[in-house]
């Protein structure tokens, strides 16, 4: 028996017991803030379920499952493996966010997929940070609303962070990476079942669905962004049709079920033209029904997708619940008063920048929501340095995000990754505040 581990468990039990023994139930019952925090956690969970689970996470789960089934391990190792060309690996990983435009939780199934397929820790960490951080729409919105200088600093900082964090993670855990490299070198080359360009179109169709189904409403009522927003569901439908054709003609999945899914989705779109979530939900159910019935790659794809969903979704919803209880929603308070946060991020001190980076790392920001939140904080006295620190740490991390990262790559790597983001965001915020504050 490992007594060191058993003593750790005993310590956790004792601490939990003491917390329960001295729980101030009467005071909590009288506290209006505690009751409000409970409602805020429920509101945030409901909002997350309505806005992110079906449109963001479910497509991401299917993409992650497809990575595990349709992308050969040799391909992942060639471009992102421990022994891959560093310039290519980090280049691909560091700009992925410009294509995906996902939040810190949606990127997790994709990260888990490439990491378990053999991607090196460095490129995988760069991808994990860059996915939500390097978002073209968010950077443009930052420059437009919060100032051109802050927008440029966010773009430069996010791209630099992804590469630096990846390189540092690789260096710290270089012994494990060396072992992984040797193990990968000894693996036989798998047979390629279909050309690379077919897989590329397959994944492009799914990424297109993910991106355009979540295309946010721009502030301006004219221009290219608004035109895309107005046609987002038509574009999403075209990508869905392309996906259906690929599944039937290239991947050999049961055409009757794919066709039935398409007809049912189209009928739902006509019947509920103002409720796009309904036809989208019908399409998801139909795709699950069609792939699960396939005896070949389709069934394996659904099984891998379901594995990711079982592992990740409960952790995310639990983390969102806790984040809502502690910090509330934008414009609403949880257990931690908002004036504490505003008071702690004024000026450009080390404490202000660290607090902004630390608080941002644990808060949950949906895509683009960090900009209006920061606009309000800056109006309340937040310094420019802490504002950049929060922009660099907040969108890339969150409490739900950390819980899932730990389940994928372990406690030690997660602590190092989170610490790197917070420390680098703090230092960058201080430097920016000293120059432009």
Half-sphere exposure (CA, 13 Å, Cβ side) for 253?
Answer: 27
CA distance 197 to 192: 12
CA distance 92 to 101: 15
Q: What values do phi and psi take at 81, rounded to 5? A: -70, 170
How is residue 219 annotated by DSSP? S
What 3-state DSSP class applies to 382? strand
Query: In which domain, by residue range, is 343 found?
Result: 34-194+294-436
How is residue 48 annotated by DSSP? H
Contact 425, 392 (CB under 8 A): yes
In a domain, 303, yes or no: yes
Closest listed residue to residue 359, CA positions, set 326, 329, 383: 326
Over the chain, what is the mean pLDDT? 83
Contact 291, 58 (CB under 8 A): no
In a domain, 59, yes or no: yes
Q: Using the structure block, give the residue that is written with the tokens 């592992």.
A: 311
Contact 278, 272 (CB under 8 A): yes
- The whole-number pLDDT of residue 186 equals 56
Tokens encoding 200: 């590329």
- The whole-number pLDDT of residue 68 equals 79
Per residue in 149-179, pLDDT (tens digit) is 998 899 899 889 999 999 999 999 998 888 8
In a domain, 209, yes or no: no
How far is the CA of 31 from the CAs of 5, 329, 330, in angstroms? 38, 19, 21
Beta-bridge mates of residue 382:
346
In a domain, 81, yes or no: yes
For 412, counting Cβ atoms within 10 Å of its Cβ (0-12 exposed, 13-18 middle, 19+ buried), the class is: exposed
- The whole-number pLDDT of residue 325 equals 82
| Lowest-confidence segment of 1-10, 133-142, 259-268, 373-382 by average pLDDT | 1-10
In a domain, 14, yes or no: no
Closest listed residue to residue 426, CA positions, set 376, 359, 372, 364: 359
Per residue in 15-53, pLDDT (tens digit) is 877 777 666 666 655 566 777 778 888 887 888 788 778
In a domain, 417, yes or no: yes
In a domain, 224, yes or no: no
Residue with the bigger pLDDT between 129 and 132: it is 129
In a domain, 300, yes or no: yes
Beta-bridge mates of residue 346:
382
Cβ neighbours of 24 (radius 10 Å) = 9
- The whole-number pLDDT of residue 238 equals 96
Q: What values do phi and psi take at 119, rounded to 5? A: -60, 145
Per residue in 321-373, pLDDT (tens digit) is 877 787 777 667 777 776 777 778 888 899 999 999 998 898 877 666 777 67
Per residue in 49-92, pLDDT (tens digit) is 887 788 888 888 898 888 878 877 677 777 777 677 788 888 87
Cβ neighbours of 414 (radius 10 Å) = 18
Per residue in 171-214, pLDDT (tens digit) is 999 988 888 776 665 555 555 567 878 888 999 999 899 888 98
Question: pLDDT tier at 116 (50, 70, 90 boundaries)?
Answer: confident
- Tally of domains within the chain: 1
Closest listed residue to residue 386, CA positions, set 419, 357, 418: 357
């Amino acid at each position: 028996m490992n007594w060191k581990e058993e003593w750790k468990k005993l310590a956790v039990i004792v601490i939990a017991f003491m917390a329960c023994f001295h729980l101030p139930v009467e005071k909590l019952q009288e506290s209006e803030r505690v009751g409000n925090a409970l409602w805020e956690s429920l509101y945030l969970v409901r909002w997350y379920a309505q806005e992110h689970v079906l449109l963001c996470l479910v497509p991401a789960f299917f993409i992650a499952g497809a990575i595990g089934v349709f992308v050969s391990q040799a391909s992942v190792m060639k471009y992102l493996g421990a022994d891959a060309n560093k310039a290519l690996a980090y280049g691909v990983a560091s700009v992925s966010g410009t294509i995906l435009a996902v939040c810190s939780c949606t990127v997790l199934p994709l990260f888990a997929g490439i990491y378990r397929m053999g991607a090196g820790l460095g490129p995988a960490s760069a991808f994990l940070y860059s996915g939500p951080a390097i978002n073209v729409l968010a950077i443009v919105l930052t420059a437009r609303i919060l100032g051109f200088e802050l927008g440029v600093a966010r773009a430069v900082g996010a791209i630099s962070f992804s590469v630096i964090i990846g390189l540092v993670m690789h260096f710290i855990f270089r012994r494990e990476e060396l072992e992984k490299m040797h193990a990968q070198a000894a693996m036989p080359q798998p047979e390629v079942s279909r050309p690379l360009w077919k897989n590329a179109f397959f994944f492009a169709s799914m990424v297109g669905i993910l991106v355009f189904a979540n295309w946010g409403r721009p502030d301006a009522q004219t221009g290219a962004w608004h035109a895309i927003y107005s046609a987002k569901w038509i574009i999403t439908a075209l990508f869905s049709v392309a996906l259906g054709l690929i599944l039937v003609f290239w991947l050999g999945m049961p055409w009757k079920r794919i066709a039935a899914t398409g007809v049912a989705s189209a009928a739902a779109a006509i019947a509920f033209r103002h409720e796009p979530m309904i036809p989208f939900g019908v399409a998801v159910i139909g795709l699950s029904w069609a792939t699960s019935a396939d005896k070949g790659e389709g069934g394996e794809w659904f099984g891998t997708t379901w594995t990711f969903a079982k592992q990740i979704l409960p952790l995310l919803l639990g983390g969102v619940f806790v984040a809502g209880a502690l910090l509330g929603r934008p414009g609403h308070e949880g257990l931690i008063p908002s004036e504490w946060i505003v008071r702690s991020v004024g000026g450009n001190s080390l404490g202000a920048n660290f607090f902004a980076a630390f608080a941002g790392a644990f808060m949950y920001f949906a895509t683009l929501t960090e900009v209006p939140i920061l606009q309000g904080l800056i109006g309340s006295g937040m310094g420019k340095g802490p504002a950049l620190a929060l922009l660099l740490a907040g969108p890339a991390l969150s409490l739900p995000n950390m819980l899932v990262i730990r389940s994928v790559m372990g406690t030690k790597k997660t602590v190092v990754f989170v610490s790197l983001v917070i420390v680098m965001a703090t230092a960058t915020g201080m430097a920016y505040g000293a120059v432009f504050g």
